[in-house]
């Protein structure tokens, strides 16, 4: 297990990591708010917060040596479900042809009075030697 941290994304607002990378190729990114990583302040509106959330996630992906094409599942929390259409447009422009599984929920409130929070699950194929295949080949004398 490897803890992922980058100064290009906001520090966690609680006692948790920005992301955790597992040896099996999974990367778990903690919920990201629309915080500017330098000031730790929320940017202005739902459009700007959505773009900032995606930029923060992209910075964490880069630090972990993953890309947005490795994203397999996202969860979006909105403080106002009426922002769904605006968020979708920005989300689609970020992911383009890649369309990971996604859930979106309206919630009563988010930390720091944010308008959006997003978390992601990623998987990167890990190339491993097939242990049992190697044993079989050795038994055959190959």
Contact at 8 Å (CB) between 32 and 59? no
Domain boundaries, the chain: 2-140
Superfamily for domain range 2-140: RutC-like (3.30.1330.40)
Confidence of residue 23 (pLDDT cuts 50, 70, 90): confident
Crossing angle, helix 46-64 and helix 84-95, to 10 degrees? 30
| Angstrom distance (rounded) from CA 109 to CA 48 | 18
Residue-wise pLDDT tens digits, 98-126: 999 999 999 999 999 999 999 888 887 65
Residue-wise pLDDT tens digits, 30-71: 999 999 999 999 999 999 999 999 999 999 999 999 999 999
**3-class state of residue 20 by DSSP:** strand
| Angstrom distance (rounded) from CA 129 to CA 41 | 46
């Amino acid at each position: 297990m490897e803890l992922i941290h980058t100064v290009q994304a906001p520090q966690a607002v609680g006692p948790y990591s920005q992301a955790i990378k597992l040896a099996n190729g999974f990367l778990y990114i903690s919920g990201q708010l629309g915080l500017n990583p330098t000031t730790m302040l929320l940017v202005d509106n739902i459009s700007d917060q959505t773009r900032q959330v995606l930029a923060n996630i992209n910075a964490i992906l880069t630090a972990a040596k993953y890309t947005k094409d490795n994203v397999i599942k996202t969860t979006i929390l909105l403080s106002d479900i009426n922002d769904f259409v605006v968020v979708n447009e920005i989300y689609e422009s970020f992911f383009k042809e890649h369309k990971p599984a996604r859930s979106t929920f309206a919630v009563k409130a988010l930390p720091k009075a944010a308008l959006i929070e997003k978390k992601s699950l990623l998987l990167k194929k890990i190339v491993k030697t097939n242990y049992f295949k190697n044993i079989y080949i050795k038994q055959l004398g190959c």
